[in-house]
Amino acid sequence: MNLRKLRDEILLEGGVSYNITTGQINPESGYMVSIRGYEQSFCVDEFADKDIQLYTLKHAEMLSNASKYIGGWLDIDDRKIILDVSVHIEDLKYAYYVGIINNQKCIYDCSNKRNLYLPSPQTSGTETQQKAYAKMKAEQYAYLLETTGVE
């Protein structure tokens, strides 16, 4: 995949996940979860191949890990392109947990091609309490989705 194809996937399809180490594009199962601190936004009208190139160079060490993907998606409401580093997770509960811990708004369901929205993480208490809260919420959200199909 080249940078133009990556940019086109974001603009035409609304998003893309690309593993620069393995070459895998848009996994068909599991969930994509962004890692906190790697998000960068760009104005849609000014977004260019060089933005992807510079982002990839900036995060080359992280993206060289075979479990990490460069993700890009279109935020239509704000007219922004968001690039991030994400991880592919097969287990729904764990994907919810990692998303909550990383303070993400949503995770991406690869099979159903939809966003699954997350609760805000607990910000008070000890780290152990925050992780316990995230685990409880992840289990609750996964159970609701698996039993009702509704998030």
Residues 74-112 have pLDDT tens digits of 988 889 999 999 999 999 999 999 999 999 999 999 999
Answer whether 31's CB lies under 8 Å from 104's CB: no
Residue found by looking up tokens 């609701």 in the block:
144
In three-state secondary structure terms, 17 is: strand
List the pLDDT tens digit at each of the 151 positions of the chain. Answer: 777 788 999 988 899 999 999 999 999 999 999 999 999 999 999 999 999 999 999 999 999 999 999 999 998 888 999 999 999 999 999 999 999 999 999 999 999 999 999 999 998 999 999 999 999 999 999 999 999 887 7
What DSSP string describes 115-151? EEE-PPPP-SS-HHHHHHHHHHHHHHHHHHHHHHS--
What is the model's pTM? 0.91
Name every residue whose Cβ is closer than 8 Å to that of residue 80 and which is 6 or more positions away in sequence.
41, 42, 43, 44, 74
Residue found by looking up tokens 């991406």 in the block:
108
DSSP 25: B
